[in-house]
Amino acid sequence: MARAEEVHLNRAAIFSEQLADPASARAELERATALNPGFALAWRNLGQLHEDEGRAGEARAAYLRALELEPGNGHDLARIAGLDIVEGQAAAAADALARHLAVPGLAPADEAELLFALGAAQDALGAHAAAFAALARGNALVRQQIPPALRYDRRRHDALIDALIAMPPLPGLAQPAPHQSDPASPCPVFIFGLFRSGSTLAEQLLARHPAIASAGEMETIPAFVHQHLQPYPDRLAQADPALLARLRDDYLAELRQIGGGARFVCDKRCDNFLHLALLRTLFPEAVFIHTRRDRRDNMLSIFSLRFDDSIAYGWDLGDIRHWIDGHDRLMAHWHDRFGDTVLTLDYDALVQDPRAVMGDVIARMGLGWDEACLTTSGIDAPVRTASAWQVRRPLHSRSSGRWRDYAAMLAPAIDGLGDRP
């Protein structure tokens, strides 16, 4: 039987990940740490929750408490270093990380965490060769710990993209509907594309509008596909209409719970680009936003972050390029099939002229303009992605063209990517 503090930990995960209720999640974690002050995982999760909500001081305190209980924990050390970098202390972070990496007998998982943090610190210091070396070592370490069966399979992914492109149009796609939904339910806004292509920023700016709410990265659609539509997409063409109707009803019920009465609710699950035919069938009234970014910056950004096997292509530049190529091939097909019902939001254009880009999206949604959509200051909603701190800073274009500092190290994986729209 689970101990009481473990029950609160599990409840916190449900509130945070499934119900989008960070206040209740925080209360559950605080109960867990009160019941057992020596419960390092609860402190660690509390630190992450504080970080998601932009509370750096509270996050640091929670990570330090976890570190006291589990000295040398790579995750805690890396998160503290990340906070140092955000606060302008990259040199101190790099020095501390180098000391920790020199400790003999580091577990591979801890070493990988420290290497990714060191890469971020060196990048902030402009030491690009050292940053890339740390990131390459970190990615290689992570990949080594993953069973071969869970690593990225290029042939299998090619087969999926080929099957999606070959799939005939599904019923109900011929006449796109306007962005109007059942008055009792909010209208879905699907934001998708390559991971690290600006989806979090787009979602947060949209959610500043009083008629739009944020649901973060919802698991509902991928989970449904995994549970009910295998083999995918073959099974989709023969799917029981009653089953699909149930998915629509369940999904809209989730949006009602999360949306708080908003007319629109954003789901920024990036890999929903794989499910666009399904989504256009189920939600013809929805808004579909494809986020796009210079692929070279996109590749570098993916390679700079530590991923588990849910993003197995992220550990190798060749695999990242392969995923990008598949994404671009499929999105060209979707744009050809669905036309301008799929909006394109370009990250580099957004940071250069946010008023024009956001104004166009808001107008396409049939809403009036609101100046709040131009500011990232005061964002208090949780941001449960790697962009948690970036989206809280004033809009800037410093990340555009960042790949140039790493061009020699990214070659030949980036060859030809600059020519793509």
What is the full DSSP assignment across 232-299?
Answer: TTHHHHT--HHHHHHHHHHHHHHHHHHHTT-SEEEE--GGGGGGHHHHHHH-TTSEEEEEE--HHHHH
The answer to whether position 331 is within a domain reads: yes
CA 23, 24, 30, 34 torsion: positive or negative?
A: positive
Angle (CA) 415 351 20, round 5°? 100
- Using a 10 angstrom Cβ sphere, with 0-12 exposed, 13-18 middle and 19 or more buried, the burial of residue 131 is buried
* Cα gap 386→69, rounded to integer Å: 25
Instruction: Identify the pLDDT of residue 398.
Output: 77
The answer to whether position 413 is within a domain reads: no
Q: Are strands 264-267 and 342-346 parallel, antiparallel or unpaired?
A: unpaired
Q: Are residues 188 and 249 in the same domain?
A: yes
The answer to whether position 131 is within a domain reads: yes
Q: Are residues 312 and 191 in the same domain?
A: yes
The parts of the chain modelled with pLDDT lower than 50 are: 1, 173-180, 389, 392
Instruction: Identify the pLDDT of residue 237.
Output: 85
Q: Are residues 20 and 169 in the same domain?
A: no
Q: Looking at residue 176, which CATH number applies to its domain? A: 3.40.50.300
Tokens of 48: 């992450």
Instruction: Identify the pLDDT of residue 405.
Output: 97
Q: Are residues 200 and 271 in the same domain?
A: yes
The answer to whether position 348 is within a domain reads: yes
The answer to whether position 400 is within a domain reads: no
In tens, the pLDDT along 224-276 reads: 999 999 999 999 988 888 888 889 999 999 999 899 899 999 999 999 999 99
Instruction: Identify the pLDDT of residue 301.
Output: 97
Q: Are residues 161 and 77 in the same domain?
A: no
CA 368, 370, 375, 377 torsion: positive or negative?
A: negative
What is the full DSSP assignment across 59-79?
Answer: HHHHHHHHHHHSTT-HHHHHH
| Residues forming a β-bridge with 342 | 288
The answer to whether position 248 is within a domain reads: yes
SS3 assignment, position 190: strand
- Using a 10 angstrom Cβ sphere, with 0-12 exposed, 13-18 middle and 19 or more buried, the burial of residue 78 is buried
Domain that holds residue 110: 4-148
Instruction: Please provide the distance, in angstroms rounded to a whole number, between the alpha carbons at the two ends of the chain.
Output: 56
AA letter at 338: F
Instruction: Identify the pLDDT of residue 18.
Output: 76
Q: Among residues 128, 148, 168, which one ends one of the domains?
A: 148
* Cα gap 68→224, rounded to integer Å: 41
Count up the domains in the chain and report the number.
2
What is the full DSSP assignment across 2-22?
Answer: --HHHHHHHHHHIIIIIS--H
Instruction: Identify the pLDDT of residue 245.
Output: 87
Alpha-carbon separation of residue 15 from 11, 23, 27, 49, 255 (angstroms) = 6, 8, 10, 11, 15
Instruction: Identify the pLDDT of residue 242.
Output: 86
**What is the pTM assigned to this prediction?**
0.90
* Cα gap 166→150, rounded to integer Å: 26
Alpha-carbon separation of residue 258 from 173, 188, 251, 262, 288 (angstroms) = 28, 12, 11, 9, 19
Q: Are residues 179 and 91 in the same domain?
A: no
Instruction: Identify the pLDDT of residue 176.
Output: 39
Q: Looking at residue 11, which CATH number applies to its domain? A: 1.25.40.10
Q: Are residues 299 and 241 in the same domain?
A: yes
Instruction: Identify the pLDDT of residue 154.
Output: 98
Q: What share of the chain is helix, strand, coil (3-state, %, to 5)?
A: 60, 5, 30
Instruction: Identify the pLDDT of residue 235.
Output: 93
Q: Are residues 132 and 188 in the same domain?
A: no
Q: Are residues 339 and 239 in the same domain?
A: yes
Instruction: Identify the pLDDT of residue 224.
Output: 93
What strands lie across the sheet with 187-193, from one edge to the other?
A: 212-214, 264-267, 187-193, 287-292, 342-346
Tokens of 148: 């071969």
The answer to whether position 402 is within a domain reads: no
